[in-house]
Each structure stands twice: as structure tokens, then as C-alpha cells.
């Protein structure tokens, strides 16, 4: 775990993967033509750059639009144009001439005493980078985000943020920007957290890792690969920020920590039929189980399912959403068959749902969970069908993202084969404790009796097996299927090693209160 401390530029807090925006041009090999051709190429690049800036300005308003108009004016400035033209006439390439002008004009602004004017040097760098990228044939969009991320850069350019979908930006972390830089101003207007002046080395250490960006309550830190305690505290702050004016429960305002400081995580279990913009229940750090039976029963098309899941992800502010594909045991009158192989052959139901999920994956932190997996053969059948759906989508879109895929462990066979399932590609395991109890104890038709026996020693032994196999392979395990009736029997699984709990909304805070009273130092792990 690494912690960088900086200055808060926009209040808020975010947890997520870190992606770097790199403005470097190292390694480019340029061929310089005669001065007349280089000047012609430069003139064309300026026309294209101005056209791009005008289109961007039409999608923005207020101060953001003014930034772009200033950049257009700079490209039309006579002294700026003459500086570049003279250097090209002396034999330099167009890109090198623009880079030289960038240094000269940005340097002049950096030498001004007024901090606000000094910060405007970033506009010079930004517009010059745009022209250079056109001349070098590089894309103007520095980053293609496939999931909501915290962005890190030595210094952010306005175009970095203009070119990205706001919903994909969790926060900004910068080495050099100040609280009055364009990046800071834009972060405040966009309502995303930002920490600046973090110092050298942050991008190299943070990129590709999970981090907490905390600019709340006077904090200004970027914590790379945070431990469970920091995640619990951050989850609590994020949950509070999502209350949207609702009166918070005092327990919801506390981090998810036991008496001895062991961190745990609470997620909600809910239905896909709920309103997409419905806020997360108090105390939930995400959705650990999104049931989709209602979507199937409503006979929604692939496009309709895609829109519903996409809206859920877009409204989640980067929180995890784990979608369970249709569960054959969720309804006695379900139109699908009991065996997963038969269900998969019925592509009319399965393929539209999988394709909708693959299409929605870039819009948030999506996970997909498959229920009723008896063993490796069932799991590999699922993976094959996902690949088939991806291949079909590739015909219209070459860039299809497969989100993390996992299993619902709801049968004893899946629990005993957890290690094999992980070795064959399962990236997440969610133990449905109620279903596992039903199938283990022969209570298939009696959910009430199962809820009262989820702590049965046989069930504990199966859960412990899953935890051991997953822990040895670095895969997260979630306990789901927790109802208000089963809450008193759940703490034993905290002692066994479960740290992630997916709970129906009514049971979230009661379970949190119960788990916070546990002390793992003084309670030996039960021997089932």
C-alpha cells in the first residue's frame, strides 16, 4: 500500500482502477520534407485543429467553451503563426516547429507572477499538442476507457477531459496541477473529486492498480492498493455521499469494521426491475447480486435489456454491479429448463441477455454471475456461449469487452469443485448461502427452514472449502442469499473468513450492526 498526499482541488471520494493519460511523444520517427510542404502540412493541421475545437465548443458552455475559443484564437495569433513559419522556413519540420513555439509561448506565461495567468500556459500546451498529434498522425483522444477509472497525469489538458465520457471518470490525480488549473475548475464543475500536487512518481506506481482518491473532509490523498480498513472507510463515505438528501442512519455513517478492526464489505441484493436511478440502499458499497429473472419474464429484447443494465451502471457512480443471469430455480413457473445445458441450447433466452451484458460492460464496473453450475463442464459451456455471443457482436463492433465472469455457488458440487472452477476461468465466486443450504440439507422446497439452518455444520464445511480454494488462488468470495430471517446465523461466516456480504436492502443495517459487534481476536474460528 502506497499513500500520496497532495492538495484537494475538488471535493469527493472515489474507489477504482487507475489509468494514466500520457502526453509524451517519445519514440516517434519523423520525416521532414521541404519547407513548402511542411508549411502546407502545418496549415492543414491548423484548419483541422480549429474545426475539432469548434465542434467541442458547441457541446460545452460557459467557462469550458471559453477555454476552447481561447485555443482557437491562439492558432490565429499572428506572432504565434510567424514563430512557427520562420522555424519551418529555416528547415525544421512542422511538428518540431510547433513544439518549439509551445515551449516559447508557454514559457512566457510561466514567468508571469500572477498564478492564474501562469496556469493558462496549459492552454498553449494543449492546443499545440493537438496540432502536433494531427501532424504525427496520432489520435487526439489520449485514452479509451473501458470502465470507470481514476485518471492520473503529470498535468491534465482541457481536451483530456472534453474528449472523455464524464460517466467514465471517477476522479483526477495530478502531479503538477493547482487548485485554479483548468483541470481543477472542470473537476468542480463536473462534480468529480480531484487531488493535485501529489508529487513525482505517482503515475508510475498507480497506473493499473486499484486506488482510493480521497478529497473529502479536508483529506487529499491517493492510496494505491488500499487495505481492507481503508476500503471500508471509503465505502462508508461514498455511501453517505449517495444519500441524496435522505436522513442517514447513524450506523450507516460508520465504517464496516468489527471490534478488533477487521474490515468487511456490504453490498445490496436487488432486482433489475427497480428504477435505474434508484440510489443504493444506505450502507451498501455496490450491488453484489442483481437478479434478472424479471427482465426475462417481461420478455425484454436484447436492446431493452442493454438499455436497462447500461442505465443501472451509469447511475452507479462506479460502484460494482454483479448481475446474475436468469436463475432456473427463481420461479416455479419459469419458462426455462432446470439444467443449464438445456437452457443454453435455448438461445432465445440466453443469448440476448449475454449480448446485452457484453454491450453494457464498458459503462461501469460490471460482473456477471452464472447460477446452477454443477461443475467444470457446465462452466465451460457458459464460457463457450459467452465467446459465441462476443463473436456475433464483433460483426458490428470490433471492440467488445468481456467483464469479469464468476459462478454462483449454490450446489454442494460447485463448492467442492471451487478450485477447479477458478482454474478454468472463474474470476469471482458468490456463495448463495440459502440455496446451498437447501440443496445440502434436502430442503429444496422449504426456503424458510433453510434460512433458519444456514449455519449448519455441513454448510459451514462447504463454505470453508470454497474460501480455502479461492484464497489460495487470489479470487474474491461473496456470501449472498442473506435474508432478514438468516441474519442471526451469518456472523459465524465472518469468523470462517468471509469478508464480502450481499444482502437484501432490509437486512443491510441489521447485519452491519451485528457484524460490528464481533471480535475476531477473542473468538476462535469454529470447527465445523
| pLDDT for residue 140 | 62
| pLDDT for residue 445 | 74
Residue 439 and residue 475 in contact, taking contact as beta carbons nearer than 8 Å: no
| pLDDT for residue 390 | 92
pLDDT digits (tens, 9 = 90+) for 13-55: 999 899 998 776 554 677 888 888 989 999 999 999 998 888 8
Measured CA angle at 172 (ends 170, 177), to 5 deg = 170
Overall CATH class of domain 35-136: mainly alpha
Residue 101 CA to residue 94 CA, distance in Å, equals: 11
Residue 452 and residue 425 in contact, taking contact as beta carbons nearer than 8 Å: no
Which residue, 93, 124, 126, 96, is CA-closest to 110? 124
Task: Return the percent helix, strand and coil in the chain, to nearest 5.
Answer: 45, 15, 35
| pLDDT for residue 276 | 61
Distance in angstroms between the alpha carbons of the first and the last residue of the chain: 34
Burial 30-44 (b: 16+ CB within 10 A, else e): eeeeebeebbebbee
Number of Cβ within 10 Å of residue 357's Cβ equals 25
| pLDDT for residue 228 | 85
DSSP sequence for 260-273: T--B-EEEEEEETT
The grid coordinates listed for 141 are 483522444
pTM: 0.65
* CATH code assigned to 2-23+142-224: 3.50.30.10
Phi, psi of 114 (to 5 degrees): -70, 120
Task: Tell me how long the chain is.
Answer: 528
Residue written as grid cell 510542404: 37
Residue written as grid cell 436487488: 270
Residue 93: C-alpha distances to residues 28, 31, 43, 74, 135 (Å)? 13, 8, 13, 20, 10
| pLDDT for residue 163 | 76
* Domains of the chain, residue spans: 2-23+142-224, 35-136, 228-516
Which residue, 204, 359, 286, is CA-closest to 14? 286
> 405-409 and 429-432 as β-strands: parallel, antiparallel, unpaired?
parallel
Measured CA angle at 329 (ends 338, 368), to 5 deg = 95
Ranges under pLDDT 50 in the chain: 27, 245, 328-341, 343-345, 527-528
> 210-215 and 221-224 as β-strands: parallel, antiparallel, unpaired?
antiparallel
The grid coordinates listed for 135 are 501532424
Residue 515 CA to residue 497 CA, distance in Å, equals: 13
Torsion of CA 366, 370, 371, 373, to 10 degrees: -150
Instruction: Report CA 319 to chain centroid distance, whole Å.
Output: 7
| pLDDT for residue 344 | 45
Residue 409 CA to residue 478 CA, distance in Å, equals: 10
> 169-174 and 405-409 as β-strands: parallel, antiparallel, unpaired?
unpaired
The grid coordinates listed for 74 are 491562439
Superfamily of domain 228-516: Phosphoenolpyruvate-binding domains (3.20.20.60)
Amino acid at each position: 500500500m502506497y499513500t500520496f498526499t497532495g492538495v484537494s482541488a475538488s471535493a469527493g471520494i472515489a474507489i477504482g482502477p487507475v489509468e494514466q493519460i500520457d502526453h509524451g511523444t517519445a519514440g516517434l520517427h519523423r520525416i521532414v520534407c521541404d519547407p513548402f510542404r511542411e508549411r502546407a502540412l502545418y496549415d492543414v493541421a491548423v484548419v483541422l485543429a480549429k474545426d475539432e475545437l469548434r465542434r467541442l465548443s458547441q457541446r460545452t458552455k460557459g467557462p469550458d467553451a471559453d477555454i476552447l475559443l481561447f485555443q482557437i484564437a491562439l492558432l490565429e495569433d499572428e506572432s504565434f503563426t510567424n514563430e512557427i513559419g520562420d522555424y519551418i522556413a529555416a528547415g525544421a519540420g512542422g511538428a518540431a516547429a510547433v513544439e518549439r513555439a509551445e515551449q516559447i509561448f508557454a514559457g512566457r506565461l510561466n514567468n508571469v507572477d500572477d498564478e492564474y495567468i501562469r496556469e493558462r500556459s496549459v492552454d498553449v500546451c494543449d492546443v499545440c499538442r493537438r496540432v502536433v498529434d494531427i501532424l504525427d498522425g496520432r489520435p487526439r483522444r489520449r485514452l479509451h476507457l473501458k470502465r470507470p477509472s481514476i485518471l492520473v497525469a503529470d498535468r491534465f489538458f482541457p481536451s483530456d477531459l472534453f474528449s472523455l465520457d464524464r460517466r467514465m471518470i471517477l476522479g483526477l490525480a495530478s502531479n503538477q496541477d493547482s487548485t485554479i488549473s483548468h483541470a481543477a475548475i472542470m473537476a468542480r464543475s463536473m462534480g468529480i473529486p480531484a487531488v493535485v500536487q501529489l508529487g513525482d512518481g505517482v503515475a508510475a506506481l498507480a497506473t493499473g492498480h486499484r486506488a482510493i482518491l480521497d478529497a473529502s473532509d479536508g483529506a487529499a490523498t491517493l492510496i494505491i492498493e488500499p487495505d481492507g480498513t481503508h476500503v471500508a472507510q471509503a465505502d462508508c463515505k461514498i455511501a453517505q455521499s449517495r444519500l441524496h438528501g435522505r436522513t442517514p442512519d447513524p450506523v450507516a455513517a460508520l465504517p464496516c469494521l468489527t471490534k478488533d478492526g477487521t474490515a468487511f464489505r456490504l453490498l445490496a441484493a436487488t432486482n433489475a426491475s427497480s428504477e435505474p436511478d434508484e440510489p443504493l440502499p444506505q450502507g451498501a458499497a455496490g450491488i453484489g447480486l442483481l437478479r434478472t429473472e424479471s427482465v426475462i419474464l417481461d420478455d425484454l429484447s436484447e436492446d431493452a435489456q442493454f438499455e436497462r443494465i447500461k442505465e443501472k451502471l451509469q447511475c452507479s457512480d462506479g460502484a460494482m454491479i454483479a448481475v446474475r443471469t436468469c436463475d432456473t430455480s427463481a420461479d416455479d413457473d419459469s419458462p426455462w429448463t432446470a439444467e443449464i445445458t438445456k437452457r443454453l441450447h435455448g438461445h432465445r433466452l440466453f443469448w440476448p441477455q449475454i449480448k446485452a451484458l457484453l454491450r453494457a460492460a464498458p459503462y461501469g464496473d460490471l460482473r456477471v454471475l452464472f447460477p446452477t453450475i454443477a461443475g467444470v463442464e457446465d462452466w465451460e459451456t457458459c464460457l463457450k456461449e459467452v465467446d459465441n455471443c462476443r463473436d456475433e457482436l464483433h460483426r458490428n463492433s470490433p471492440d467488445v469487452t468481456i467483464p469479469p465472469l464468476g459462478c454462483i455457488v449454490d450446489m454442494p458440487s460447485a463448492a467442492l469443485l471451487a478450485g477447479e472452477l477458478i482454474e478454468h476461468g472463474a474470476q469471482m465466486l458468490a456463495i448463495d448461502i440459502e440455496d446451498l443450504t437447501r440443496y445440502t440439507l434436502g430442503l429444496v422446497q422449504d426456503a424458510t427452514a433453510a434460512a433458519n439452518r444456514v449455519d449448519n455444520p455441513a454448510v459451514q464445511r462447504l463454505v470453508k472449502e470454497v474460501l480455502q480454494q479461492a484464497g489460495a488462488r487470489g479470487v474474491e468470495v461473496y456470501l449472498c442469499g442473506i435474508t432478514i430471517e438468516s441474519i442471526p446465523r451469518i456472523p459465524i461466516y465472518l469468523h470462517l473468513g468471509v469478508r464480502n456480504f450481499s444482502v437484501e436492502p432490509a437486512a443491510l443495517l441489521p447485519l452491519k450492526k451485528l457484524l460490528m459487534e464481533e471480535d475476531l481476536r477473542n473468538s476462535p474460528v469454529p470447527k465445523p
